[in-house]
Amino acid sequence: MDFPREVIIRKSIHLLFTLTLLIPFTPIFNLFLSNAISILQYYLIMAVASSILNAVKVKNPIIGSEILHRIKSFRKKMLNDLYNIKMMKPSSWSMSIIEKLELMGNFIEKFEEGINSQLNMVERRYERIGGYIGISAGIIGVLFSYIFFKKYVIYGIYALIVVDPVGAIVGKMFGKRRIKWSNASLEGSISEFLAYAFLLYLLGFKPHIAILSSLITTLAEIYGIEDNLFIPIAASGSLYFLLSTEI
């Protein structure tokens, strides 16, 4: 069993992003933002910001590599200049200084290579081509949920926090059986279903409501074209309708 390092990193980034969607329901928003903007405006601002990020990513795909190239060029020039100074005044330079400069150069080069490899590892192929679609989709899904399902949107955000990360990590580590017509594993899907159902139960929902909502949300994650879009809609919408029709 391989440790899913790549998935862990991606889902950690996913978690940090999702936590920003929770801000309107925290004391931070009430203290610093509520007098200036509404919750709807907050999500609209996030939608615009994500669109700008995607536009930059798609239209300028070499920005990141160009920055790294410039850093590397500057480092090499700096070390070459220092080495040339040493050659002009050899008596004022000891071998230990030269060795330290070389070690520093090697360290910085490895650091640069590490940054580049991490970026390549966490970015999926379609993200390099079409931008960070998942971020925009998540914001739109939450925005849609807030407009149509109001207070239930928070459960859609909880679902984003729990469902996709649990399914991805468990599926990567233990997934053996693929679900037909999807890229999801049976093991990962069962784990995310149980995790979200348990969370809803802990939040005070009746068992049958928690199970039905979690099932609908899990199916949205399995068969949704973009899970970040459909998970919050399915989670908040299912609770909205299940509770409004409950006898």
* Three-class DSSP labels, 53-94: HHHHHHHCCCHHHHHHHHHHHHHHHHHHHHHHHHHHCHHHCC
The pair phi, psi for residue 178, each rounded to 5°, is: -85, 140
Shared-domain flag, residues 226 and 139: yes
**pLDDT for residue 94:** 52
The pTM of this model reads: 0.73
Does 224 lie in the same domain as 109? Answer: no
pLDDT above 70 for 100: no
- Least confident among 15-24, 63-72, 134-143, 213-222: 63-72
User: Does the structure show a pLDDT above 80 at 161?
Assistant: yes
For residues 157 and 173, membership in a common domain is answered with yes
- Do 194 and 152 belong to one domain? yes
Domain boundary among 80, 102, 128: 128
With a cut of 60, say whether residue 130 has pLDDT above it. Answer: no
**Residue 186 and residue 199 in one domain:** yes
Least confident of 75-84, 113-122, 134-143: 113-122
The pLDDT tens digits for 5-14 are 777 777 788 8
In a shared domain, residues 120 and 218:
no
Domain with 183 in it: 5-59+132-245
More confident residue, 201 or 180: 201
Please give the residue that has the higher pLDDT: either 107 or 152.
152
R_g (Cα) of the chain, nearest Å: 24
Q: Per residue in 49-65, pLDDT tens?
A: 888 877 776 666 555 55
Q: Are residues 147 and 115 in the same domain?
A: no
CB atoms within 10 A of CB 214: 27
What is the tally of structural domains in the chain? 2
Residue 149, pLDDT > 60, answer yes
Please state the rounded mean pLDDT for residues 160-174.
89
Q: Are residues 164 and 44 in the same domain?
A: yes
Contact in structure between 219 and 147 (CB atoms under 8 Å): no
Measured CA distances, 220 to 36, 46, 202, 213 (Å): 35, 23, 22, 11
* Contact indicator for 174, 145 with CB cutoff of 8 Å: no
Alpha carbons 236 and 70: distance in angstroms, whole number: 46
Residues 41 and 136 in one domain: yes
Domain boundary among 113, 128, 143: 128
pLDDT beyond 50 at 107: yes
The pLDDT tens digits for 204-233 are 999 999 999 999 999 999 998 888 999 999
Statement: residue 104 has pLDDT above 70:
no
Residue type, 163: V
Distances (CA, A) of 155 to 57, 71, 143: 30, 44, 13
Residue 237: its pLDDT value, please? 97
Predicted pLDDT at 117:
56
Q: What is the mean pLDDT of the chain?
A: 79
pLDDT band at 247 (very low <50, low <70, confident <90, very high): very low
Together in a domain, 139 and 229: yes
User: What local confidence, expressed as pLDDT, does residue 54 receive?
Assistant: 76
Decide which of 126 and 143 is more confident.
143
The answer to whether residue 42 scores a pLDDT higher than 60 is yes
